[in-house]
Structures are given as structure tokens and as C-alpha cells.
Amino acid sequence: MSFGKINICLFSQDKDKITFKDVAGLKESKEELEEVVDFLKNPKKFLDIGAKIPRGVLLMGPPGTGKTLLARAVAGESNVPFFHLSASEFVEMFVGVGASRVRDLFQTAKKAAPSIIFIDEIDAVGRERGAGLGGGHDEREQTLNQILVEMDGFERDTNVIVMAATNRPDILDQALLRPGRFDRRVLLDMPDLHDREDILKIHAKGKPFDESVNLKVVATRTPGFSGADLANLLNEAAIVTARAGRKKVTQDDILNSIEKVLLGPARRSRVTIQKEREITAYHEAGHALVAATLKDSDPVHKVTIISRGMAGGYTLKLPIEERRLKTKAQFLADLAVSFGGYAAESIIFKDVSTGSSSDIQYATDLAHKAITRYGMSDVIGPRTLGKNHELMFLGREISSEKDYSEKTGEMIDSEMNVIMKKSLETAKKIITTNKDTLDIIARKLMENETIEQEEFNEIIKASGIKQIVMK
């Protein structure tokens, strides 16, 4: 008869203890949680002024941003019992087990009070009620109801803080998010340039680095990487070094690992005929040339025809500085760059290949978002077109509700065609005007397979290409 008991783990303060010093970046998030730790350590300071202890702290953010890591840091900082479990452990095959386990969890925590409960991936039981199958008798909903009562019901004199983590806060029940339950929400963002460098320094501990390693350059090349991605990156670099029988990790090991994490391992053994190799070289040269010519495009860091994952070759272009906003000019530049390979193939070989399929798909999605979500069409104007709904009982399936007329739909199609054709014409014009430079880049790629940023910039500078702005 132990089904109603929860399989709860008490965090060991001696094993793998980490503190806030071991968590790089996330300055504001750490400040929020430091207050919670301070409240548990020095409750009198807050109670004397009439402040109440926060009942719940919800950590929200994309996967890999450090939600569980921050929870472990709170456990290491606070000298109180820290109970942790996954939300999926509440519900099993027997009806009523979930609610019983919630009661058992809170009774255990109350006996050890002051204490902290950490529930990971709370969206497993905290989804919006009445939105899926099962109605009010759904086992998951009964479990959620019990959590709501335990957190803020009739008994309010408990000294237990509930921490929870989720990367899907939009689907949580509103009763769970109201003040008195999860009254403190901590948002964890993707790390910026400085945070990425600090994270890399933490994960670099214990790894012997060569003098050539510059973590700032690595941080510059990894925009959009989460903390987990950066940890994986350095681990991959260390594995490559060990496999090669070397004693120190070099800069090249780390930079190659970036591409391995993004695209997959290099497929040097892949046999390609000379014609396909030439098409790939001109295709990637087209992307790089258009990117170098357009002022609003990101700088090219690397061009290669070495196959990785599903890609036959790729052009790596990264922003100079961190960006939170994107302008219409930058959208148009990205569209033109995505058509660079297609334009180069059509001009040089008077034909096009299937290698442009992913570029065309990316350009189509980009143009559709610019018109229907960001209001960047002069004809349609600033309006959001179409509503997306997540069908919770079908997993992550998205249904789109059409909230515009057939005439507006035709206008969207027409505007997409105009923007995409204009971008293709810009790409073709750049390649036709600078065909000699395209030949130089393509020949270099066929000879060496890879062109790094410094060499590429020298080619562009020697060719005297002037940057243009798309209008």
C-alpha cells in the first residue's frame, strides 16, 4: 500500500554542491533567488517589516538556460532541507495516486520546515484545466487541484517554499500562476556575449587549453547557444582532442566543435563527383558573395564545401553584436542571401539543383512571417494575420485559424511573391556584376574546401566590391 507515497529525493549538501558563484550570467534571476535564500536564513529581517515569505517561485525559460542548475544552486546556498522530484512522478496507472502523492510530499516538507520543494517540468501536471480530454475527472487535473490547495488553501501557516521549472509557461493553469501560489516568476533568457564567455570559463575548468584558445572568439561565434549547448561544445572539443591523442585542446578543436553541434560531424568520406563538387562550390560562393555585398547582412565568418549532417556545404555568417530587434532591411538582406546559392547556380550553369530546397523553404517562411506577423508589407500594413492554437491533447500539433478573407489571402500570396522575386533579382544582379569574384571564391573552395573570415575578407577587399542597401 505504498502507491500513495512519493518517491522524493533529499538534496545532499556534500555531494556535487554548487552555489550561485558556479552559475555564470543570469544576474537578475540570481538576485531574485538570493532573496528567497535570505528569507529562509534570516526570516526575522523580513517579518519585522511585515513582509511575507513567497509561497512559490516559477523558473521559466527555454531548454538549457539553467533552470535546474539554478535550483541546485539554491539548494547549495540555503542550509535547509531541499526536496526535489519530477512532476511526472505524481501520476501513474492508479486513479487517485497523484493527489495522494502531493499530500505526502507536502506533509514530508512541512515536518522538515523551513524547507524547499523543487518540482521539475511542472507542465506535466500543471496544464490548463478543461483544455484537453478527460474533463474534471482527469487524473492529472485532480493532481493539479491538490497542488493548488496545498500551496494556498485553508492552511496558510506553513514555512515551505515551492520552486518549479518549465519551458512552457504559456500552457500552465491560471490558478497556478496567481499571487499566493507562484507569486514570483523568474525568467531565464539565452545568454548574451559576455554571459557566454563567463559560462565557457566555468566549463573550461579542468580542461587543459592550448595558448591559442580565445574564449571571447568562441563566445562571438555562438549566438543563440544556451548554457547547456556551451557545456556540450567544450565537452565535444575535449573528446576530439583525446581521440587525436593530444594533451591540450586547441582553438581549432573548439571552432570545429561549434559546427559539429550546429550541423553534425564532418562527412569527409562522402564521395562526390566533380560536377556536384563544383555546383556546391558556386552555390556557397553565391551565398557568401551576396552576404558580403549587402550592408544589412551579417559578416561571413566561414565558407566551406565540407559536408556536415544533411548539408552539402554551408556559409557561416554571424552578427557583429547582440541583437534583440530585426529591421525590415535586415529581413530583405537575409532573403537575398538565402537566394544567393540559387542565383549563382542559375547564372553559372544555366540550371538549378535540389541543393537550394532548404534555402527556398527558409526564404518562404521568412517572407510569410514578415508579412503576416511583423507588419512589414506596405500593401497590407501593420496587421497580424492568422491565429495559431496549440491542440494540447494532440501533443505539439498547431492549428492555424484563418481570421482574414480570401481576398486578403490573395494579397498575402501576391506580397510574398513580390518580396521573394525582388530578393532573387537583387542576388542575381550582385552575382552578375561580380562574376569574377564569384569565380575566385568558388575556385578557392574547390582547392582548399574551406575559406575562413580573414581570407574571405581579403578576397572581397582585393575585388573592390562596394556594399549596397536593399530598399
Residues with a known catalytic role:
284
d(CA 380, CA 387): 17
Side chain identity, residue 209 = F
For residue 36 the three cell numbers come to 528567497
Task: Tell me, rounded to whole angstroms, the distance of Cα 74 from its chain centroid.
Answer: 24
- 33-37-39 Cα angle (round to 5): 110
For residue 342 the three cell numbers come to 540559387
For residue 25 the three cell numbers come to 550570467
Taking Cα atoms as reference points, which of 98, 78, 92 lies closest to residue 11?
A: 78
Task: Tell me, rounded to whole angstroms, the distance of Cα 255 from its chain centroid.
Answer: 19
